Amino acid sequence: MTFLEMLQAAQQRNRSLLCVGLDPEPTRFPAGLKGDATRIYDFCARIVDATGDLAIAFKPQIAYFAAHRAEEQLERLVRHMHAAFPHVPVILDAKRGDIGSTAEQYAREAFERYEADAVTLSPFMGFDSVQPYLKYPGKGAFLLCRTSNPGGDDLQNQRLASVDGQPLLYEHVAKLAQGPWNLNGQLGLVVGATYPAEIERVRALAPTMPLLIPGVGAQGGDAVATVKAGWRADAPIVVNSSRAILYASSGEDFADAARREALRTRDVLEAAKG
């Protein structure tokens, strides 16, 4: 099964476009776990158990584990995701970007050590920084394309004189990913939810690729506009929400509150398909 097929199966099974992002910050954990980095697994596993049947994917963000020496907890967490929800793919959010043998090491980290189904990557170093990940045929890779942070404009929104049609840099990335770089249909694109017109533009340039769309929920993107701009029946979008779900309650009911928020967001996204 390819990564794209995994996504499509999870989308249908859970009737969901919602990606549950796991950005664990111990200082925001509920009482009993609060401030305790040795409990990252426990907190995240509760969130996984409460939301897995509502998700198209899980997306753990490795930085939050690495800052707390919690690599072993991340390994256990992904194993738990696969065991509890074998039909929900796991996207390791790592935004790696390096070449040659170094990229091979990062691919090994993501796919062999952490057993992720896909990884996020930066395209800045070009195709040979992406290629080593494509050697794992069942795995996927989402390339940063257009991000919705203020600095997203600094490079991504620059117009290129050197490429026919003078696209913006992020449009150039989308074209490369849809075309020459996508050897085995393993690639997807990361596109921020803040500007639906840009999601539409990326979708036009990359009609068959999955789009990973962060920024719904705590980051303020509009869920309905996002789905209308990006979703196609034959090309999944993966709409991430992290903090709005993880920290829906700071009380003992945090897992129940996470489920309510996930369900609410899942339903908003489903309804927006129209």
Residues binding a second copy: number (CB under 8 A) = 55
Rounded Cα–Cα distance for residues 208 and 178 (Å) = 8
Is 109 an interacting residue with respect to a second copy (CB under 8 A)? Answer: yes
Q: Pick between residue 151 and residue 274 the one whose CB is nearest to a second copy.
A: 151
Is 158 an interacting residue with respect to a second copy (CB under 8 A)? Answer: yes
Is 115 an interacting residue with respect to a second copy (CB under 8 A)? Answer: no
Site for a second copy in 116-135 (CB under 8 A): 122-130
What SS3 class is residue 92?
Answer: strand
Rounded Cα–Cα distance for residues 226 and 211 (Å) = 11
Enclosing H/E stretch for 239: strand 237-241
Pick the catalytic residue: 34, 95, 135, 228?
95
Q: Residue 71 burial by CB count (10 A; 0-12/13-18/19+): exposed, middle or buried?
A: middle
Q: Pick between residue 211 and residue 269 the one whose CB is nearest to a second copy.
A: 211
Q: Pick between residue 108 and residue 135 the one whose CB is nearest to a second copy.
A: 108
> Looking at 43, 64, 133, 231, which residue binds a second copy (CB under 8 A)?
64
Strands 91-96 and 211-213: unpaired
Report the nearest approach of a second copy to the CB of residue 99 (Å): 4
In terms of residues, how long is the chain? 274
Is 166 an interacting residue with respect to a second copy (CB under 8 A)? Answer: yes
First to last CA, the chain: 29
> Looking at 71, 200, 222, 267, which residue binds a second copy (CB under 8 A)?
71
Is 153 an interacting residue with respect to a second copy (CB under 8 A)? Answer: yes
Angle CA 264–269–273, to nearest 5? 145
> Looking at 30, 152, 185, 267, which residue binds a second copy (CB under 8 A)?
152
Rounded Cα–Cα distance for residues 166 and 115 (Å) = 40
Beta bridge partners, 60, equal 22
Site for a second copy in 7-26 (CB under 8 A): 23, 25
Q: Pick between residue 8 and residue 157 the one whose CB is nearest to a second copy.
A: 157
The amino acid occupying position 266 is R
Enter the tokens of residue 142.
């989402």
Is 108 an interacting residue with respect to a second copy (CB under 8 A)? Answer: yes
Active site (annotated) includes residue 228: no
Is 165 an interacting residue with respect to a second copy (CB under 8 A)? Answer: no
What SS3 class is residue 121?
Answer: strand
Rounded Cα–Cα distance for residues 220 and 227 (Å) = 14
Q: Given the rule CB under 8 A, which residues bind a second copy?
A: 23, 25, 61, 63-64, 66-67, 69, 71, 95-103, 105-106, 108-109, 112-113, 122-130, 144, 147, 149-163, 166, 169, 172-173, 176
Please list the active-site residues: 95
